[in-house]
Amino acid sequence: MLFSELGLSEQLLKAVAEQGYETPTPIQAQAIPVILQGRDVLAGAQTGTGKTAGFTLPLLQLLQGQPVPQKPRPVRVLILTPTRELAMQVYESVRTYGKHLPFFAEAIFGGVSINPQIQKIQRGTDIVVATPGRLLDLIQQQHLDLSKVEHFVLDEADRMLDMGFIRDIRRIIALLPSKRQNLLFSATYAPEISALAEQILNDPVEIAVAKRNAAADTVSQLVYGINREYKRELLSYLIGNGHWQQVLVFVRTKHGADRLAKQLIKDGIRCAALHGDKSQGARVRALEEFKNGSITALIATDIAARGLDIDQLPHVVNFDLPQVAEDYVHRIGRTGRAGAEGQAISLVDPEEAYLLAAIEKLLKRQIPRVDDTGYPNVSLAVTNSKPQPKPAQPNKPARRPQNGRPGEAAKRAPNSRKPRPQAAKPR
Ligand code: AMP
């Protein structure tokens, strides 16, 4: 299938060609024609599948086919995203694909001054990409009117619900005209998503490109059973010994992200933390440094990392396992993208064994274990579904390494004398 067979305009085909895309991805091939027909769509697609172009290209084309409205231009396309990062990414995509078209787009999200956003909106804009909170602020202050919206996109709807946006979403939908096109994208289909889809969508075309709750086949997954106190050292070792250039590390809390980033910096690894308490400037900077290779590791919480578009990320590490099994699929979806091979490593403390069990139940298979971690062996067996209490005295390393100073791990050459090539040795 070629882009030219999808019925897209010359200006859009030119923008696509300038991006170097040769063929449409499966979600694009399926979604573009039905969106062009004006149908509602329920799409099961993760980040990395090309879903953004899958809805942006046909929506731009639909705008192109309509008469240019009077000034100031009303908002005709509203795209809601869960995070600022995703809002920025989608906004950039709209600009990229629409660069040969005369439309205006704005990104609206919190954490930055509201005034420039107000000024831009007052000039009139065709397309708004927004996170729910700031959008509602602007509406309440009467700077934004959604009564002319013709196309509504809910991107990463599952994450929106996880983040507690359901009431905001309902309030926003109540402000839209009832006659409109609705597109709902979600990586997973929890029952709440089906309920939301039923409320919002009108006779939708259902499209699923990734198997439901399936992990990408191109990602090799491994589990290291390891006591929490050794996780940092093992991670440093894996990065240094494997000469990893780019690794996204997931942690559970913002505080944990900051702490791990500080520790890795002491180990000589260039890294930054990305989480919701960072200023917008710091988040953008961290992401840019990670994308351009000036830092090796990005330590992120789930919410901050959601939807990050980082091409062909080779390594993802679950420093902490996610509390919700579906998040594991999202996390490892950052790697092995667009057919590239990726590696997803989970460092699992016995207390997290029940979380691992839930993930494996969801995946319907066991993730291979690395038996010989170089650290005291731990059992990841669960006897019930509750958190397993940690033994009062964690196992101490069986023996001491010859050269195992803290932080040493990252600096070791890959072929330095190590009895166990797969992992660091205990201190
Ligand atoms: P998304 O899933 O929308 O976040 O897109 C993931 C990545 O795929 C982005 O970096 C896009 O630039 C890229 N992409 C989108 N469509 C195509 C295509 N047809 N061919 C190659 N890359 C694409």
| pLDDT at residue 406 greater than cutoff 50 | no
Q: What is the pLDDT of residue 395?
A: 43
Query: What's the average model confidence in pLDDT over 399-425?
Result: 37
Q: 381: exposed, middle or buried (C-beta count within 10 Å: 0-12, 13-18, 19+)?
A: exposed
In this predicted model, which residue has the larger pLDDT, 2 or 311? 2
Q: What is the pLDDT of residue 340?
A: 59
**Which ligand 1 atom sits closest to the C-alpha of 21?**
20
Beta bridge partners of 313: 335
pLDDT confidence tier of residue 371, bands split at 50, 70 and 90: confident
Beta bridge partners of 43: 185, 207
As a whole number of angstroms, the distance between CA 264 and CA 273 comes to 11
Q: What is the residue extent of each domain of the chain?
A: 3-208, 219-370
Residue pair 330/302 in contact (Cβ under 8 Å)? The answer is yes
As a whole number of angstroms, the distance between CA 81 and CA 91 comes to 10
Average pLDDT of the chain, as a whole number:
84
- pLDDT tens by residue, 21-33: 888 988 999 999 9
Atom 15, ligand 1: residue with shortest CA distance: 50
The tokens describing 367, both together, are: 């993730």
Q: How far apart are the first and last CA of the chain?
A: 56
As a whole number of angstroms, the distance between CA 58 and CA 8 comes to 7
As a whole number of angstroms, the distance between CA 372 and CA 377 comes to 8
| Ligand 1 pocket residue status of 309, Cβ below 6 Å | yes
Distance in Å, CA 28 to ligand 1 centroid? 10
Q: What is the pLDDT of residue 278?
A: 84
Global confidence as pTM: 0.62
As a whole number of angstroms, the distance between CA 353 and CA 340 comes to 29
Q: Residue 25: name the closest of 60, 59, 51 by CA.
A: 51
| pLDDT at residue 416 greater than cutoff 90 | no
The dihedral built from the CA positions of residue 280, 284, 285 and 286, taken in this order, carries a sign that is positive
The tokens describing 366, both together, are: 């066991």
| Ligand 1 pocket residue status of 311, Cβ below 6 Å | yes
Residue ranges with strand state E in 159-296: 181-186, 205-208, 219-225, 247-250, 271-274
| pLDDT at residue 101 greater than cutoff 90 | yes
Q: How many CB atoms lie within 10 A of CB 333?
A: 23
Atom 1, ligand 1: residue with shortest CA distance: 50
**Which ligand 1 atom sits closest to the C-alpha of 48?**
2
As a whole number of angstroms, the distance between CA 327 and CA 324 comes to 6
Question: What superfamily would CATH give domain 3-208?
Answer: P-loop containing nucleotide triphosphate hydrolases (3.40.50.300)
pLDDT confidence tier of residue 396, bands split at 50, 70 and 90: very low
Residue 314 CA to chain centroid, in angstroms? Answer: 15
| pLDDT at residue 415 greater than cutoff 60 | no
| Ligand 1 pocket residue status of 354, Cβ below 6 Å | no
| pLDDT at residue 390 greater than cutoff 60 | no
pLDDT confidence tier of residue 103, bands split at 50, 70 and 90: very high
| Ligand 1 pocket residue status of 24, Cβ below 6 Å | yes
| Ligand 1 pocket residue status of 126, Cβ below 6 Å | no
Q: What is the pLDDT of residue 386?
A: 54
**Which ligand 1 atom sits closest to the C-alpha of 309?**
4
Distance in Å, CA 40 to ligand 1 centroid? 22
Mutate-to-test residue for ligand 1 from 13, 309, 330, highest number of ligand atoms within 8 A of CB: 309
Mutate-to-test residue for ligand 1 from 32, 52, 159, highest number of ligand atoms within 8 A of CB: 52
Q: What is the pLDDT of residue 277?
A: 84
What would the CATH number be for the domain defined by 219-370? Answer: 3.40.50.300
**Low-confidence winner among 83-87, 139-143, 188-192 (lowest mean pLDDT):** 188-192
Q: What is the pLDDT of residue 421?
A: 36
- pLDDT tens by residue, 126-139: 999 999 999 999 99
**CATH topology identical between 3-208 and 219-370:** yes
**Which ligand 1 atom sits closest to the C-alpha of 51?**
3
In the DSSP assignment, the letter for residue 341 is: -
Q: What are the distances in angstroms from CA 315 to CA 13, 160, 234? A: 33, 26, 15
The β-bridge relationship of strands 41-44 and 181-186 is parallel
- pLDDT tens by residue, 47-92: 778 899 999 999 999 999 888 888 889 999 999 999 888 999 999 9
- pLDDT tens by residue, 212-232: 344 555 678 999 999 999 999
Atom 21, ligand 1: residue with shortest CA distance: 21
